[in-house]
Amino acid sequence: MVEQPEPPEEPRLPPGQYVPRGRPVMHYGRVPTFRPETWRLHVMGATATGEQHGFSWPEFSGLPRTTVLADFHCVTKFSIMGNEWSGVSTATLMELVPPAPGVRHVMIWGEYGYSANVRLGDFTHAQTMFALELDEKPISPERGFPVRMVVPHLYAWKSVKWVRAVEYLLEDKRGFWEERGYHNIADPWREQRYSYQEEAGEGPP
Ligand SMILES: Nc1nc2c(c(=O)[nH]1)N[C@H]1C(S)=C(S)[C@@H](COP(=O)(O)O)O[C@H]1N2
Ligand SMILES: [Mo]
C-alpha cells in the first residue's frame, strides 16, 4: 500500500502577524469599574419592533452560553493564539431582539464611547460572540470584564471590550478606529489594515 502524504495544514497566522511572548493587553483609555446594579447591555437602533431593549446583568449573564476556540489578531501585528472564549452568541441576542429587515450593519459600543462597526454578516459569523469567560475564567478587568465582544475573524480592534450597546444600522457608519484611518472591514487574511486600502463599496460613501 502506498502511503498518502499528509494534507498541508491551513496556515494559522495571517500575513504580517507574529506570535509574541505572553498575551499583550491593548486598549485606549482607562479600565472601567463594573457596577452590576446599573449595568445594562442595550440593543438599539433599527430593531424589528422599533423599541430598544436593555438587558440587566442577571438577565444577560443568565443567557445560554457557547464556547469558541479562536486566534486573535491585532493590527499592530501581534496575534494571540488559541483563546477559549465562552459567552452568549450573537444568534441568541438576535433571537431575543431581532433587527429590522433592512439592517446591514452593526455598531458595537463600549464604555466611554469606544465603538467598532461590522457588517451584519460579520456580526452573525459563527465565531462572533459576547464573551464572559476566557480560558474558563471570568474575563479579567483589563480584557473587558464583565462582557467583551469577540470577532476573531477580523482585526482585534473590532472586539470591543466592556461592551454596553449594540446598535442595528440601516447604513454603514464608521466606529472609533475606522474614523481614524483604519479599514472599515478589517479582514486580517486580506491585510485590510488601513482605510486607504478600501475599495469601492467597502466603506460608507
Ligand atoms: N473598549 C475597547 N475595546 C477594545 C479596545 C479599546 O481601546 N477599547 N482596543 C482594541 C484593540 S486595538 C485590541 S488589539 C484588543 C486587545 O484585546 P486584549 O487587551 O484582550 O489583548 O481590544 C480591542 N478592544
Ligand atoms: Mo489592536
125 domain residue, yes or no: yes
Rg (CA), the chain: 18
Q: What distance in Å separates the CA atoms of residue 147 and residue 178, rounded to the nearest whole number?
A: 22
Report which protein residue has its CA nearest ligand 1's atom 18: 25
114 domain residue, yes or no: yes
Contact 18, 79 (CB under 8 A): yes
Strands (E), the chain: 40-45, 53-56, 66-73, 79-89, 105-110, 115-119, 129-134, 137-138, 148-150, 163-169
List pLDDT tens digits, range 133-151.
999 999 999 999 999 999 9
Identify which of 142, 159, 194 to mutate to test ligand 1's pocket (most ligand atoms within 8 A of the CB). 159
Q: What does the pLDDT read at residue 10?
A: 75
Q: What does the pLDDT read at residue 139?
A: 98
Domain that holds residue 78: 40-197
End-to-end Cα separation, the chain, in angstroms = 60
List pLDDT tens digits, range 158-193.
999 999 999 999 999 999 999 999 999 999 999 999
List pLDDT tens digits, range 65-81.
999 999 999 999 999 99
23 domain residue, yes or no: no
- Which chain residues have CB less than 5 Å from ligand 2, an ion? 26, 74, 156-157
User: 119: domain CATH number?
Assistant: 3.90.420.10
How many domains does one find in the chain?
Answer: 1
Q: What does the pLDDT read at residue 199?
A: 97
Report which protein residue has its CA nearest ligand 1's atom 14: 74
List pLDDT tens digits, range 33-55.
999 999 999 999 999 999 999 99
138 domain residue, yes or no: yes
Cβ < 6 A, ligand 1 pocket = 24-28, 74, 110, 114, 143, 156-157, 159-162
16 domain residue, yes or no: no
List pLDDT tens digits, range 69-125.
999 999 999 999 999 999 999 999 999 999 999 999 999 999 999 999 999 999 999
Burial 62-82 (b: 16+ CB within 10 A, else e): eeebeebebbbbbbeebbbee
Contact 159, 149 (CB under 8 A): yes
Q: What does the pLDDT read at residue 7?
A: 65
Q: What is the pTM of this model?
A: 0.95
Retrieve residue 188's grid coordinates.
486580517
Does the bond joining 146 to the residue before it have cis omega, within 30 degrees of 0?
A: yes
